């Protein structure tokens, strides 16, 4: 111990391993992130630059932990996919596995609100042998089949269907059989034209006895959901 000029007791700079040291000396000599020399006095040599501080090392360790966590999540995700592929698709009534789906040309696993199904893409595509369509899941490049894609003269029965992949029926309407002919009569003048197919040929209105309807045609279908 020494007495300073102001009359205070003070510990001198320690020079021996058994000497006591003040907090200020410890902070200056090795505490915190102050200097490269201080860091090396605490942790040994190996620092490349002043920014290789304990604070930066701690931040890098935290970033590494986050990276490891992300990689772990990715591995779990891939594992779950592999397990899922060997399981039966979950769409109601499905009898095939995800792997069965991926083995099909253009096949991919599609998750709908009702469960997983096999989405198969192609040209004029249908479900493979042994598979059935999952409800009405499908998509078309063009809507309209046959000679009457826009319906009859009275603007009824236009063909309909989904362009984007959806659980939607595709309807192909055509005139039925037999017709009655009305000379120079319009749609509003023939009550039955509101419920059946009517066609005006320029002189006469032809009123058919029925309307032909076919569902979900293969032509122009670019995707279909199978189970």
Query: What confidence score (pLDDT) does residue 2 get?
Result: 47
DSSP, residue by residue, 34-100 = --HHHHHHHH-S---STT--HHHHHHHHHHHHHHHHHHHHHHHHHHHHHHHHTSBP-STT--SBHHH
In a domain? residue 183:
yes
186, 212 in Cβ contact below 8 A? no
In a domain? residue 135:
yes
Tell me, yes or no, whether 138 and 218 share the same domain.
Answer: yes
Is the pLDDT reported for residue 57 higher than 90?
no
- In 3D space, the residue among 62, 24, 45, 59 whose CA is nearest the CA of residue 32 turns out to be 24
Tell me, yes or no, whether 105 and 205 share the same domain.
Answer: yes
Report the C-alpha gap between 104 and 54 in whole angstroms: 56
In a domain? residue 76:
no
Report the C-alpha gap between 89 and 86 in whole angstroms: 9
Tell me, yes or no, whether 33 and 125 share the same domain.
Answer: no
Query: What confidence score (pLDDT) does residue 84 get?
Result: 62
- Which residues does residue 175 pair with via DSSP β-bridges, in sequence order? 211
Tell me, yes or no, whether 28 and 119 share the same domain.
Answer: no
Structural domain harbouring 40: 20-52
Tell me, yes or no, whether 128 and 200 share the same domain.
Answer: yes
In a domain? residue 73:
no
In a domain? residue 156:
yes
Report the C-alpha gap between 101 and 89 in whole angstroms: 9
The Cα-based distances of 53 to 46, 58, 63, 107 in angstroms read 11, 8, 15, 53
Average pLDDT over all residues of the chain: 83
Beta strands in the chain (DSSP E): 2-3, 9-10, 107-112, 115-121, 133-140, 166-167, 171-175, 179-183, 198-200, 204-208, 211-215, 221-226
- 157 phi-psi bin (left φ>0, alpha ψ -120 to 50, beta other): left
Question: Domain count of the chain?
Answer: 2
In a domain? residue 83:
no
Instruction: Tell me the pLDDT band of 68, cut-offs 50, 70 and 90.
Output: confident
225, 119 in Cβ contact below 8 A? yes
Is pTM beyond 0.75 here? no
Tell me, yes or no, whether 206 and 149 share the same domain.
Answer: yes
**Tokens standing for 63?**
């970033």
Query: What confidence score (pLDDT) does residue 150 get?
Result: 95
Q: What percent of the chain has pLDDT over 70?
A: 72
Q: Indicate the SS3 state at residue 102.
A: helix
Q: Which H/E stretch holds residue 149? A: none
In a domain? residue 168:
yes
């Amino acid at each position: 111990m020494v007495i300073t000029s102001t009359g205070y007791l003070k510990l001198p700079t320690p020079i021996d391993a058994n000497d006591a040291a003040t907090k200020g000396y410890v902070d200056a000599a090795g505490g915190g992130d102050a200097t490269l020399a201080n860091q090396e006095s605490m942790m040994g040599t190996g620092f490349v630059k002043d920014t290789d501080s304990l604070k930066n090392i701690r931040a890098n360790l935290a970033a590494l932990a986050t990276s490891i966590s992300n990689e772990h999540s990715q591995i779990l995700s891939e594992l779950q996919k592999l397990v899922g592929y060997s399981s039966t698709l979950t769409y109601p009534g499905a009898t095939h596995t995800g792997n069965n789906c991926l083995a099909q040309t253009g096949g991919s696993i599609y998750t709908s609100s009702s469960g997983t199904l096999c989405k198969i893409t192609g040209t004029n595509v249908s479900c493979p042998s042994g598979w059935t369509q999952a409800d009405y899941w499908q998509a078309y490049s063009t809507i309209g089949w046959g000679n009457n894609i826009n319906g009859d003269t009275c603007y009824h029965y236009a063909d309909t269907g989904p362009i984007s992949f959806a659980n939607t029926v595709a309807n192909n309407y055509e005139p039925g059989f037999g017709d009655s002919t009305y000379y120079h009569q319009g749609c509003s003048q023939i009550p039955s034209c509101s419920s059946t197919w009517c066609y005006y040929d320029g002189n006469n209105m032809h009123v058919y006895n029925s309307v032909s309807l076919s569902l979900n045609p293969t032509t122009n279908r670019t995707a279909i959901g199978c189970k």
